[in-house]
Amino acid sequence: MRVNLLWGIILMSLFFWYSNVQGYSFYYRGSIEAKYSHYDLKNDTLLNPNRDLSAFSTYQYFLEPDFVFELNNDKGARLVAKTRIPWKKNTQEHDSEIVVDNLYADITIFPELFLTVGKFNLQDGVGLSYNPSSFLEAKKTIDYSKSEEEQKQDQEGLYLARVEWIQENYTLSLVTIPGISSLQEENTGVLSKLSTTFDSYDLAFHYYHGDYPLFGTNFSSTIGDSLGIHWESGLKKGSQQKILTTVSEIIPASGIYSYDTAYRENEDQIYIKNLIGGNYTFPNKLNLIVEYYYNQEGYSNKEWQDFIDIVSANNNYYLNPPFSLDPGIFSQNLGLANFIMNYKYMRENYLFFRASYPEFLGQFNLTLALLFNIDDKSSVAMPGIKYAIDQQSTVALSWSIFSGKADSEFGLLSWHNEGRIIFSYFL
């Protein structure tokens, strides 16, 4: 919090120095969201035998005020702060915190040259369900209660400095992300990007130089008034996907091991990620979107089977300790397996589908989304309905329904489904 306060003082000083304290305007908006979630827990999973290792709550209360403040001046400068105060309560915890998502200044240096400095939500890519051209992919926390668009808009920003040169048909940008441990987890990196628009086509190329160099490109186009197509690709050097590695054999010739987590050994391998999709909007505003995602960084069938074999063996050893060994050895191994589970990114092939019907009967918004793991046939279905009470408030019901075999990605989760009721009030 002290770091964000210091940044706020610095940015405020920069803004007023630039504006000479003349010709400025103030704007704010906000919302309050109250949510109750109920979890239909499983009694036993491979990663959590008999629910001994993780005692999940069957419910959670959640309250989150969210505020955005914006200060503008007549010289083209803007100071933006976005903060929220999430509070949650369940059977395991009861806490709150202050989160500063954005805290940055936009300054017009010349009519075509712009500077952004501070904590900023940097978004890249044209995909809805995945963004393989973004170096931030697979680092985002997934909140299934929010739409894919909301997940992007509401994610916490990065501390950075960005320079943009905007022309009629193209934009050049250079972004520097400082590797300061007290500010953020990311190490030092530099992102350069070229975006261009011609006719009904948008094309972008960007290169990220950091711990894991990434070259990305994306393309989108509209065909007529109803059909849109998009494609996004990323080439990354090195893998951020963790695997379980053998540390030692606990008892010689027993086949019982202790494990640790590590990245794949080949740091020079190039991994390919691709997304292709399309969307169609009907005259009544019903919108359908389909996307296919290929993730070479995900587990192959053999890697996944090796992982499941380790998990299954340690699940059995925990329940029936061999050689009178301490069950804690095997709960630790299972804990490591839980730690590397990055749901939605574990395998190689995914299919995403969403149907949304805004303004149904005037005040309803209906959605049905499905994320399907093609490799192991597990999935998560996400139906929802939102009702606009008036111009300032909504109430919504939504569900996340997980299905799959016990050894599949979404089948490893500790609950069958999650149901929510959400009330939102906009200030």
- What's the CA dihedral at 140, 63, 145, 239 to 10 degrees? 10
CA end-to-end span of the chain, whole Å? 25
Inter-residue contact 296 to 239 (CB < 8 Å): no
**What is the C-alpha separation between 61 and 334, in angstroms, rounded?**
29
Give every CB contact of residue 198 below 8 A, 6+ residues apart in sequence: 169
Query: How is residue 21 written in tokens?
Result: 């304290």
Beta strands in 322-403 (DSSP E): 349-360, 364-373, 379-390, 393-403
Report the distance separating Cα 130 and Cα 127, nearest Å. Answer: 6
Type and span of the H or E element at 416: strand 415-426
pLDDT digits (tens, 9 = 90+) for 317-356: 999 999 989 999 999 999 999 999 988 999 999 999 999 9
Contacts 24+ apart (CB under 8 A), 182-188: 182/3, 183/3, 183/159, 184/158, 184/159, 186/158, 186/210, 187/211
d(CA 348, CA 301): 9
Structural domains for the chain: 2-426 (2.40.160.10)
CA-based torsion, 138, 144, 148, 149: positive or negative: negative
* β-bridge partners, 110: 113
Residue-averaged pLDDT of the chain: 89
What pLDDT, in 10s, does the model give residues 190-207? 999 999 998 889 999 999
CA dist., res. 112 & res. 110, Å (int): 5
Residue 397 has pLDDT above 90, yes or no: yes
pTM: 0.91
pLDDT at 113 over 80: yes
Q: How far apart are CA 121 and CA 421, in angstroms?
A: 27
For residue 417 the two structure tokens come to 């489904």
Model confidence at 77: pLDDT above 70: yes
Burial of 380 (0-12, 13-18, 19+ CB in 10 A): buried
* 132, 320, 339 from 233: Cα distances, Å: 6, 46, 27
d(CA 61, CA 94): 9
Burial class from Cβ neighbours inside 10 Å (0-12, 13-18, 19+) for residue 2 reads exposed
CB-based contacts of 178, cutoff 8 Å, min separation 6: 159, 160, 188
**Residue 5 clears pLDDT 60, i.e. is over it:** no
Nearest to 414 by CA among 68, 22, 45: 45
pLDDT band at 185 (very low <50, low <70, confident <90, very high): confident
| Gyration radius from the chain CA atoms | 24
Three-state secondary structure call for residue 28: strand
In this prediction, residue 8 carries a pLDDT of 59
pLDDT digits (tens, 9 = 90+) for 277-310: 999 999 999 999 999 999 999 999 999 999 999 9
CA–CA gap between residue 333 and residue 398 (Å, rounded): 34
**In one letter, which amino acid is 155?**
Q
